[in-house]
Structure 1
Amino acid sequence: MRDTVLLLGQTLSFDTSPFGTAVQDAARHERRGAVLIENGKVAATGRAEDLCAAHPQAARRDFGDGLIMAGFVDAHVHYPQTGIIASWGKRLIDWLESYTFPEEVRFADPAYARQVAARYLDLTASHGTTTMASFCTIHPASVDAFFAEAQARGQRVVAGKTCMDRNAPEGLRDTAQSAYDDSRALLQRWHGVDRLEYAITPRFSPTSTPEQLEAMGALWAEHPACLMQTHLSEQTDEIAWVKELFPKARDYLETYEMFGLLGERGLYGHAIHLEPRERAALSEIGASLIHCPTSNTFIGSGLFDMAGLIAEGPRIGLATDTGGGSSFSMLRTMAAAYEIGQLRHSPLHPAQLLWLATAGSAAALHMGDRIGNLAPGIEADLVVLDLASTPDIAQRTERADDLWEAVFPTIMMGDDRAVSEVFIAGRAISER
């Protein structure tokens, strides 16, 4: 017997990006809609009346006015930083030395890594996040732990061993050769198993020698279907450091480009302070830039140029950047993206925010054909939002004239209380 369930409520999906198309043409909203799930995938969407008539034997869950949409896709996180989220008062380089590196050393212990991986996936699921791309630590056990926990939950995730062979403390340095060997072994063990994908992961240029970057570029050339994730132009003092370490490079991006680490399947976190040449090169190749707004404000990095970069053509994803980011919630991340847009005099529409957190991030991860939307054949990773989850949100929602006015208070003020239910591969997490 097939595993079939019919979800009833408001539904939201996207036919295309609301950045290049009018919102009314890009988004599809059913005031009383339904989603049919069969065998872990979306089998049909449409009006509740029609799907109920067509599938009278299907089990039903009625969420009333709840908004059923794709689960959130977090395109750049550091799951090992779960325990140090919201630590006080440092910029990037100090943050790494004071908080991140001391915590990451602990992931040499497989039991500790498994404990944190489980905690991280539980926390993010409670906030409606169903897929993420995570940096691990230099320890292969940290990758094994994350993939094993995600596999047990049936989640689609991306992760990779972070590679660093300089400018890091004892216990957090590998070598060019061991980074290549360990990454290759982990890739062969996990990539493509169930819903797991491996990402080649040099942390960023300052913590990798040219020899290690060359080794990572060689590995990517051998496995071009894999993603590659790293950091780019997050803070101005970081950029100055890169110029000292790579005096022959024209700019930060060239420290990756010269070693084969610029590509369409590259994920470049932050990308705030880009030079014109870097913007042109990233756009030409169709790389993915990942906007991390709560992190950018929390550690004082700068303001991402969403409007300008969207117009130039690279893929754009949205991310919490746990734990430099100050929240596990993609709702809070959308709110921060809106606020940064305001500061840049180009505020984002609620449809654009929701698209970035779902279909946009899925496309940035090259998974838009599998996750990030409500459409037949897409994997049933879904979230149901309560648009009146608290009294302050409810009183504002009562005044709404359309979906966007109704959902915007939840984007700006919502938290895990707004998440009524989450489905991963068609299975409700409340039933696990």
Structure 2
Amino acid sequence: MIRDQSVSHPESAVLHFIDNAGIARVKYVPASRLESLSSGGVGLSPIFGVLTTDDTFSAVPGLDPCQGDLRLRPDLAHERVLPGSPTWAWTPVDQYTQQGDPWPGCQRHFLRRMVARAETQGLTFLSAFELEWTAGRSEGQDWQPIHDGPSHGGVLTPVLKDHFAALFSDFATAGISVDHGHAEYGAGQLEVALGPTDPLVAADVFGLARQIIHQRSHADGWQASFAPLVTGAVGNGAHAHLSLWREGTSLFAPMGNGAAMHHDGESFLAGILAELPALTAIGSPLRISYERVKPGLWSGAWACWGLENREAALRLEGAQGPNAHKSSNVEWKAVDGAANPYLALGAMIAAGLHGMEHELRLPPPLQGDPSLTGPSEGEPVAKLIPQSIEESTDALGASAPLREALGDLLIDSVIATRRQEATTTASLSREAQIARSRRRY
């Protein structure tokens, strides 16, 4: 076992996992125990598989709230230093049964399985997330954002430059690659685009980056929230990027024969497109998530694909020009900050592999904005993705490809978590939903 050499003599450690509601959960342990825990683990109730946003439990057959135990094993090959806390290490965990078998409800094991399944077909991936969050302060009942625009505004540099400089330094300390950062459209909204890497590492970095941003915001006197909606109409996304490769060739890049992309790349993308209604329950886990994925907000509300089209749920990026053979990737836009990154990437891969197996083909790409099509011009050229948590959860329950990939326990746990979310929030106002989730992500 090779541990991250950037972690030098930690005294304590954060053991980190993300549950099906997208909440980061941790245990703290003395660093002296890490080696033994990597094989023996630390205990956790299996009922955490159906823990919801407000710390109530849903129910799934086989998960007894009073019975059983899991073992959380730190993956020391992916251990990192926790910036700003040099005596602390941070490590993701895998969930095992007491008998030492991978627990079928573990999201990290699921992603690992999907990557391994793809490797049997000679496929590899690079993955990354764009993280958006809202920074501000609570002042009584009011929320004071760190800025009120303009988006990407140079006038905000005096306010934001020291904050971003500290964040970039923290990311570098933790070994996290960052492409860029900026002020986004929403009041107080900020964004960083993380660099591409292996899917398992990308999902780990999603969790660690959020932890770093929370810590740096706290140190600078602010609060950070990755909740899908915090203020106004513009919500926080966590757009998932995936590129597909075989023997060094990008399968999303244009072919020399004039084809838009490789035949297998098209089938892979068509598989994701076919499962978009079910995938929405994974990428948009809260009722308030559906206030974010609306037409006209560049949030991927339309169930289609398009070349560089920000209204399409699946945006094929970097697939034109001289660098397309290096930069081609698909961006799933309808993923927000409450999503579990292991589920999001694993489900994308599972759907794509199903599309390849059945040699699915893509319809024409979205051109323009479907919402601008008037009644006199006929129906919009695309349908909307599910616009409620009930609709997307029903679609997930009906998805045979995703049930086969996730397994009964994991998919039933996700569905139970979503149904509990739907029940709990059915009578809550928009403002109450925002208040409920703002401090939990």
| Superposition TM-score, scaled by structure 1 size | 0.29
The structure whose residues are more often helix, as a share, is 1
TM-score (norm 2): 0.29
